[in-house]
């Protein structure tokens, strides 16, 4: 798998493994299986309540730390600078890691929170050497512009919902302009896009599965993805997308499925206890 390079030079595998809604009691086993079948990039968050178990799986895998890319995220109640520093330390502690590869503000909470001050705190965390790259999640265009104007620091990534039903062209264009890597969460629209008739026709013609076609579409667009599955066979299937290419017409037809439809929460509407849908 060819890696992408983030703002500070850290290499990120563009296809990773997501852990949202993986219950803590099975997380260690699920993540151990993901690492065993070949995933080297794990996406978690304080909000998911499974960082300890993700860390246990990493430790049990015996993999060298440098061979793994680990992302976690600041929880909604931890925006205030002192709470953000404490939340970051807690995440590293639960993960059992000295350094995390990527740390994100999970939701901007624009109605209630000074997310610009939170971003300034993440910029300070870079100086501790305990995080390689900092970024944001669920930031809209105006949120991105505000944090960059205030600090001069461009987030390495913006992790937002992207899938064939929500292609996010304007936001992705802004990311390209600003040099931000797009991370596409819910890349399969939580499974909904897998029954789409066009995706199924393309999959049949290419002798691939619907999930493989959709993940390939994301990767050819240059986005980073981390599909979640608790099933080993699906983990293997989702990783097996590097032996075929979608042509321009196929790419365009999948992009044409866009209906600006979200599977998850709208970032402008999420409040302190939100973002869990």
Catalytic positions: 48
Q: Which two tokens stand for residue 5?
A: 């390079």
Paired with 103 in beta bridges are: 72, 134
H-helix or E-strand spanning residue 137: strand 131-137
Least Cβ distance, residue 168 to ligand NAP (angstroms)? 13
Q: Is 196 in the site for ligand NAP (CB under 6 A)?
A: no
Which residues 155-184 are close enough to bind ligand NAP by CB under 6 A?
159
Among 18, 55, 135, 155, binds ligand NAP (CB under 6 A): 18
Paired with 157 in beta bridges are: 181
Task: Estimate to the nearest angstrom the gap between the alpha carbon of 136 and the chain centroid.
Answer: 10
Q: Which stretch binds ligand NAP (CB under 6 A): 17-25, 55-63, 80-88, 108-116?
A: 17-25
Contact 46, 77 (CB under 8 A): no
Q: Is 138 in the site for ligand NAP (CB under 6 A)?
A: yes
Of all residues in the chain, what percent are helix, strand and coil, respectively (each to 5)?
A: 45, 15, 40
H-helix or E-strand spanning residue 43: strand 41-43
The mark string for 100-129 relative to ligand NAP (x by CB under 6 A, - otherwise) is ------x-----------------------
Q: Is 43 in the site for ligand NAP (CB under 6 A)?
A: yes
Among 55, 211, 218, 241, binds ligand NAP (CB under 6 A): 211
H-helix or E-strand spanning residue 196: none
Which residues 215-234 are close enough to bind ligand NAP by CB under 6 A?
226-231, 234
The residue among 55 and 227 lying less far from ligand NAP, judged by its C-beta, is 227
Total number of residues shown for the chain? 277
Among 113, 137, 158, 167, binds ligand NAP (CB under 6 A): 137
Least Cβ distance, residue 33 to ligand NAP (angstroms)? 12
Least Cβ distance, residue 48 to ligand NAP (angstroms)? 7
Least Cβ distance, residue 208 to ligand NAP (angstroms)? 11
Q: Which two tokens stand for residue 86?
A: 């404490």
Cα maximum dimension of the chain? 54
Q: Checking DSSP bridges between strand 41-43 and strand 4-5, what pairing results, if any? A: unpaired
Least Cβ distance, residue 271 to ligand NAP (angstroms)? 14
Q: Is 264 in the site for ligand NAP (CB under 6 A)?
A: yes
Least Cβ distance, residue 147 to ligand NAP (angstroms)? 16
The stretches of the chain forming alpha helices (DSSP H) are 24-37, 51-61, 81-95, 115-127, 141-151, 169-178, 197-206, 210-220, 232-239, 248-255
Interacting residues of 191 by C-beta distance below 8 A, sequence separation 6+: none
The residue among 138 and 168 lying less far from ligand NAP, judged by its C-beta, is 138
Q: Is 27 in the site for ligand NAP (CB under 6 A)?
A: no
272 backbone dihedrals φ, ψ, rounded to 5°: -50, -45
The residue among 19 and 28 lying less far from ligand NAP, judged by its C-beta, is 19
Residues in contact with ligand NAP by the rule CB under 6 A: 18-20, 43, 106, 137-138, 159, 185-191, 194, 211, 226-231, 234, 237-238, 264, 275
């Amino acid at each position: 798998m060819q890696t992408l390079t983030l703002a500070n030079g850290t290499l990120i595998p563009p296809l990773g493994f997501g852990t949202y809604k993986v219950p803590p009691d099975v997380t260690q086993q699920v993540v151990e299986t993901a690492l065993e079948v070949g995933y080297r990039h794990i996406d978690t968050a304080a909000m998911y309540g499974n960082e300890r178990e993700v860390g246990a799986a990493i430790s049990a895998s015996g993999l060298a730390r440098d061979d793994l890319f680990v992302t976690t995220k600041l929880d909604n109640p931890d925006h205030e600078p002192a709470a953000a520093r404490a939340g970051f330390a807690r995440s590293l502690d639960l993960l059992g890691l000295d350094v995390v590869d990527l740390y994100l503000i999970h939701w901007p909470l624009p109605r209630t929170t000074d997310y610009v001050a939170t971003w300034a705190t993440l910029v300070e965390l870079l100086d501790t050497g305990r995080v390689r790259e900092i970024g944001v999640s669920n930031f809209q265009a105006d949120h991105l512009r505000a944090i960059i104007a205030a600090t001069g620091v461009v987030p390495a990534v913006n992790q937002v919902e992207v899938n064939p039903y929500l292609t996010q062209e304007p936001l992705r264009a802004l990311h390209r302009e600003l040099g931000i890597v797009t991370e596409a969460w819910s890349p399969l629209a939580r499974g909904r896009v897998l029954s789409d008739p066009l995706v199924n026709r393309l999959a049949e013609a290419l002798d691939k599965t619907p999930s493989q076609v959709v993940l390939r579409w994301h990767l050819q667009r240059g986005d980073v993805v981390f599909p979640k599955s608790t099933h080993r066979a699906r983990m293997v299937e989702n990783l097996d997308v590097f032996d075929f290419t979608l042509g321009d017409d196929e790419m365009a037809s999948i992009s044409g499925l866009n209906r600006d439809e979200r599977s998850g929460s709208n970032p402008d509407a999420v409040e302190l206890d939100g973002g869990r849908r």
